Structure 1
Amino acid sequence: MFFRSFFDENLAHMSYLVGCQRTGEAIIIDPARNLQLYKETAEKEGLEIIAATETHIHADFVSGSREAAKQLGATLYLSDEGDENWKYQYLDEVNYVLLKDGSTFTIGLVEFQVMHTPGHTPESISFVLTDKGSGSTKPMGIFSGDFVFVGDIGRPDLLEKAAGVKGTASLGARQMFHFLKKFKSLPDYLQVWPAHGAGSACGKALGAVPVSTVGYEKLNNWALKIEDEEEFVTTLLTGQPEPPAYFAMMKKVNKLGPDYLNDGPIKTLSSVEELERFSSETVILDTRSAKDFAASHFKGAINIPFDKSITNWAGWLIGYDQNIVLITPEKDLDSIRKALASIGLDKIVARVEPAIALEDTSNLENYREIDVHQLQKLLNDDQYHLIDVRNQSEWDDGRIESAQHIMLGTLKNRLNEIPAGKKYIVQCRSGARSAIAASILQANGLHDVYNLKGGYIAWKKENLPILK
């Protein structure tokens, strides 16, 4: 048997390519939208990808299953669990097999047995793998999707918080409690291959180790050690991070069928005049570092630096109906395009080199940083207004007096809550998210902005007063 895992650090997403070396056939489990790495790996190993499957209708990235059916002629093995609201809607255009609890299918001599494992979502399934090509009759591992992670389990509140389906958080938590008993009954030696690692918003305490075992999780995973249902439900639902705004859209996209990838050319702008012609309906996204953006940037641009968090914050802050113009070097264009496409932000209409965007000084602005001691002196000055853009759990753990709490992802939709006519200081944990917030404020006409250097960490380090 051939086995290879793939990790997308932008999404903290794990996917897998499993092949039967006897027959030369392979399947992708929880495929990303861009299939290139799977195709290259399969070709190198002499395998043909004949199938793709997914553990559930994903909310945090665009699934590559439909793309695999189109590009590779792959048969899709998909869940038929859950009610009518959790059925795939694009099956009339693909070859497919629907799966229920207890179903089995084979790729060559590799067998997959289906376990219905709801809680994270109603249709969630897991796959227990047995390598019969090696002569084994015992399973090797389980593809657990968003059911069980290393050190954590899937959150059950996404349908309620991201998709607005009332009452599903508690129901999902109780389902998770009962179906974890099935997981605990599996052999301790079974390897656990989850769909996410540390950094994913699909749980609250995911481990950074990519693989575990059933036995290890029974000993160390907090969720598998709680025996009381009420305690379990309360613990699971407490402290879950805010789900990114794009999660609701991803759920819909993956259910209805994602658009096929568009890899056509993107227009390169040759002058700042061309950039100025784009309407207010267009997002101008500058992907340079926060330091470079703060020093000088095109008026109206927002800044999300090109690092592993770009997909998360782009998903929060850019609408799916908005065209995107990138201010970014040509060398980064392909990688940025793939990152945004992984969450369905496909409407990149143009790109311009940073040097060109900065040519006309009349169209530029900047913002300054202040340190915590400067902030302390300004807190009682009515001219200044402090905005804390951290998550709710961070705010609850401690905050700076007089700060207004507006989580970064919600900032663009809550600008009307910010008092007018002030000088604005933005603050987060370390200064990175507040730098993005500074760009959002300036792009929306609040120009007198300062970023707190070092953020709340620096404030606490100096033993300055905090509220709880």
Structure 2
Amino acid sequence: MFVERIKTEGLAQLSYLIGDGSEAAVIDPRRDCEVYAQMARERGCRITHIFETHRNEDLVSGAPILATMTGASVHHGPNAAGTVVYADIVCEGDQFAIGNLCLKVLETPGHTDDSLSFAIYDGGYGDGAVGVFTGDALFVGDVGRTDFYPERAEEVAGKLYDSLQKIVALGDQTNLYPAHGAGSVCGNKMADRDFSTIGYERHNNPMLQFDRREAFIQAKLEEHHNQPPYFHVMERINLVGAAPASPLLTPRVLDIPSFDGVAGRAVLVDVRGISAFLGAHVPGSLALPVGMIAAFAGWYLDEHEELILIADSATQAEAAARNLTRIGYDHLLGYLNTAMPGWAAAGRPFRSVPVIDAQEVKTRIGNKRENWVLLDVRDRGEISEGIIKGAETIYVGKLPEQLDRLAKDRNYTVMCASGARATIAASVLLRAGFHNVDVFLGSMGAWRAAGGEVVEPS
């Protein structure tokens, strides 16, 4: 019997290949799913079943694609908001044999109505559950968000509480296999590790310490999670299934003449690091470093838009393409095959973004610089822990829809926790026609290190 964890960086998504003998199953496959077939071949296994813990909101499922590749059956929970056309419905108590491994279905709604967990048992050794795949119900150090049904907020929070009792009842010996790790948008305070047990979580997970259902519900009602617009796209795609990702993962090379031929109809997405973007970038491009695509592309890009990547290398472009296709952005025209010095040498325009440090921010505040705005783009939880006095706040993801709040004739210094999200926000402002923009590099981290004053938000 084996359990192999496959982690998708950026999304912090965890999927699994499990099996015994010559048979295997996959839990929550991602869209670029060749990895599961390859791992099964290396173990001499055939994938016979694919299980989904719920209809994902943050990534495109690879279940229908992997089913076509392997002939495996797909299994999904009841009560999905629509019919998952490529899956068979399974319910509480259903069981599946994979060699000596027995997988039992638990209905664990709360995060979504169709959420399932899958407990596994070793038929050749002992009676208790060996492990449980909890999807987005229980994480390491946290539990799933319950804000997808705002009109039923108390009801679904209560359902999650009940589901957690069912999971905990499997016993302290049970290994925990969640669908996400730290960094995922599906939880707030996950521990930065991908392994745990039910016993450890029962004693240490803050969300399992409530002895009253009502107190748990109240805690969930007080949470705040951001919901990127692309979540609804993922939910729709994951009812009908997406096309294979493989043809999309190697974007074609664009030299400058080729770029000129298609740039007018596409969104330019600069996937280089923030320092490279700040130093020199193609005017009108959106800064989305490769490692931040999963978290932020869904706020700014439409699924139907054509995209051109600006990258330092083919390797970087391919990594960006993979991250984009995992969340449903399929219209990649290619990537610009030139570094900024080559772009400039061809006589092409470029733009840089000035950066300032903590001392300059202090000076501007102390001098009450006229027509200057310090714009803090951190999220609500970070803002609640303190801001620099006088700063205006707009979450980086919601900046496009709130640009009307900002006058274009003012000077903006954008800040976040370190400067990375601030760079994304600066690129959004520049694309929208704001001309006087700079970035507080180091941002709140630098401010605190320099002994700057932090006040409660008004």
Range into which the TM-score falls when normalised by the shorter chain: over 0.9
SS in 2 for 1:123: coil
Stretch moving more, 136-145 or 188-197: 136-145
Q: Does the 8 Å CA contact 2:139/2:181 hold for their aligned counterparts?
A: yes
2:205 aligned residue: 221
* Residues 1:58 and 2:56 aligned together: yes
Give, as a single letter, the amino acid of the residue that structure 1 aligns with 2:75.
Y
Q: Does the 8 Å CA contact 2:32/2:246 hold for their aligned counterparts?
A: no
TM alignment of 1:364-403, pairs within 5 A? 364-379=350-365, 380-403=368-391
Per-residue deviation at 1:230? Answer: 2.7
TM-score normalised by length of structure 1 = 0.91
1:163 aligned residue: none
* Residues 1:317 and 2:300 aligned together: yes
Per-residue deviation at 1:425? Answer: 0.7
Give, as a single letter, the amino acid of the residue that structure 2 aligns with 1:349.
L
Distance 1:258 1:398, change over 3 A: same
1:326 aligned residue: 309
Q: Distance in 1 between matches of 2:272 and 2:169?
A: 50
2:16 aligned residue: 16
TM alignment of 1:97-176, pairs within 5 A? 97-132=88-123, 134-157=124-147, 159-160=148-149, 166-176=150-160
* Residues 1:44 and 2:42 aligned together: yes
* Residues 1:245 and 2:235 aligned together: no
Q: Distance in 2 between matches of 1:331 and 1:221?
A: 39
Q: 2:394 aligns with which of 398, 401, 406?
A: 406
Q: Distance in 2 between matches of 1:224 and 1:280?
A: 53
Aligned length: 450
Distance 1:97 1:274, change over 3 A: closer
- Residues 210-266 of structure 1: per-residue CA shift (max 9 Å, x gap): 121111111111121101223212222334332333222212211232233251563
* Residues 1:185 and 2:169 aligned together: yes
Distance 1:103 1:357, change over 3 A: farther
Q: Distance in 2 between matches of 1:243 and 1:70?
A: 31
Give, as a single letter, the amino acid of the residue that structure 2 aligns with 1:236.
K
- Residues 154-183 of structure 1: per-residue CA shift (max 9 Å, x gap): 1101x14xxxxx413322111112222212
> Structure 1: 5+ residue runs without aligned partners?
161-165
Distance 1:315 1:381, change over 3 A: same
Distance 1:303 1:65, change over 3 A: same
Per-residue deviation at 1:198? Answer: 0.7
Q: Does the 8 Å CA contact 2:310/2:317 hold for their aligned counterparts?
A: no
Q: Distance in 1 between matches of 2:225 and 2:415?
A: 18
Q: 1:345 aligns with which of 320, 326, 329?
A: 329
SS in 1 for 2:290: coil
Identity %: 30
Q: 1:82 aligns with which of 79, 82, 105?
A: 79
- Residues 256-295 of structure 1: per-residue CA shift (max 9 Å, x gap): 3223325156332211x54344466521011112111111
Q: Distance in 2 between matches of 1:363 and 1:412?
A: 25
Q: Distance in 1 between matches of 2:168 and 2:223?
A: 25
Per-residue deviation at 1:447? Answer: 2.3
Q: Distance in 2 between matches of 1:67 and 1:8?
A: 17
Distance 1:45 1:333, change over 3 A: same
Q: Does the 8 Å CA contact 1:16/1:29 hold for their aligned counterparts?
A: yes
SS in 2 for 1:365: coil
Q: Does the 8 Å CA contact 2:377/2:416 hold for their aligned counterparts?
A: yes
SS in 2 for 1:298: coil
Q: Does the 8 Å CA contact 1:327/1:357 hold for their aligned counterparts?
A: no
Per-residue deviation at 1:47? Answer: 0.7
Per-residue deviation at 1:142? Answer: 0.7
Distance 1:289 1:354, change over 3 A: farther
Q: Distance in 2 between matches of 1:277 and 1:201?
A: 37
Q: Distance in 1 between matches of 2:404 and 2:46?
A: 55
TM alignment of 1:189-200, pairs within 5 A? 189-200=173-184
Per-residue deviation at 1:451? Answer: 0.3
Q: Distance in 1 between matches of 2:392 and 2:262?
A: 33
Per-residue deviation at 1:11? Answer: 0.9
- Residues 283-333 of structure 1: per-residue CA shift (max 9 Å, x gap): 1011112111111111111111222x2211122221112111011121222
Stretch moving more, 220-229 or 24-33: 220-229
Q: Distance in 2 between matches of 1:206 and 1:167?
A: 26
Q: Does the 8 Å CA contact 1:62/1:250 hold for their aligned counterparts?
A: yes
2:187 aligned residue: 203
Distance 1:357 1:417, change over 3 A: farther
Q: Distance in 2 between matches of 1:421 and 1:206?
A: 42
SS in 2 for 1:363: coil
Q: Does the 8 Å CA contact 2:255/2:338 hold for their aligned counterparts?
A: no
Per-residue deviation at 1:107? Answer: 2.2
Root-mean-square deviation (CA, aligned residues, Å) is 1.9
Q: Distance in 2 between matches of 1:135 and 1:396?
A: 50
SS in 2 for 1:297: coil
1:269 aligned residue: 254
Q: Does the 8 Å CA contact 2:27/2:51 hold for their aligned counterparts?
A: yes
Q: 1:448 aligns with which of 427, 436, 440?
A: 436
